[in-house]
Amino acid sequence: METVRDTGAIGVLVLLGLFVLTSLLLFPGSVITLGAGAIYGWEVGTLLATVASTIVAGLNFFMSRYLLHDWFQRRLESKPRTSALFHAIAKKGWPLILFSRFSPIFPHSLVSYASGLTRISTRTFLLASFAGFFPLSLAYAWAGHVLGQAALRHAKDALWCDSLTITIGVASVVVTVLVAVVFAIVVARIFKSVPDDDDDAKP
């Protein structure tokens, strides 16, 4: 880990690229976030994962809005649940995007694709995504930091004496789990409340 850390900005850029690539290939980026937290600490790991997640979300957003708009619209509206999500985002806007990013169990790429088909602005989408990805990235990066410290056999000196690290880590995990549950309930209600013929769905 120290060897990778010594590469400086190059190592950070490599991890950033790996995160973007794995996410686009639908592999879990959480593994990269854990690695970033172990190598660079939870602070840098959190920032790296949040930025990378936002980049991936932006690429998916641009793809559905500009490159394959009609194809994505047909695909999303062909199934009741994805169609409901599409109309819910068109109706509720950035709060739903923000809330969805908190949840580790919700398909983030699907939210990005659906958002690209609505009238929401690119700036609003990216800001809501960045803010929403931050707590989840913090939780994974802190976990990676813990594992990294344990691997270096400095857990007792470098971790448990740092009350701030413990507080932030525990709080982020608890909040992430609670929000994931709450979001599942909220989305279920939104699915039932949003009509399919929403005129705001088209960009």
- For residue range 5-24, what is the model confidence (pLDDT) as tens digits? 556 667 677 777 877 777 67
What would you report as the CA-atom Rg of the chain, rounded to the nearest whole angstrom? 18
pLDDT of residue 125: 95
CA distance 40 to 92: 37
Supply the pTM of this predicted model: 0.73
| Span 69-106, pLDDT tens digits | 888 888 877 877 777 777 788 887 888 888 888 777 77
The helix (H) or strand (E) run that includes residue 44 is helix 30-62
For residue 201, what are the CA distances in angstroms to 8, 99, 190? 44, 19, 15
pLDDT over threshold 90, residue 128:
yes
For residue 37, what are the CA distances in angstroms to 34, 104, 147? 5, 17, 9
Q: Mean pLDDT over all residues of the chain?
A: 75
User: Residue ranges of the domains in the chain?
Assistant: 2-201
DSSP state of 95: H
CA distance 199 to 167: 45
For residue 63, what are the CA distances in angstroms to 15, 88, 104, 113, 130? 23, 20, 23, 8, 18
- For the chain, give the number of residues: 203
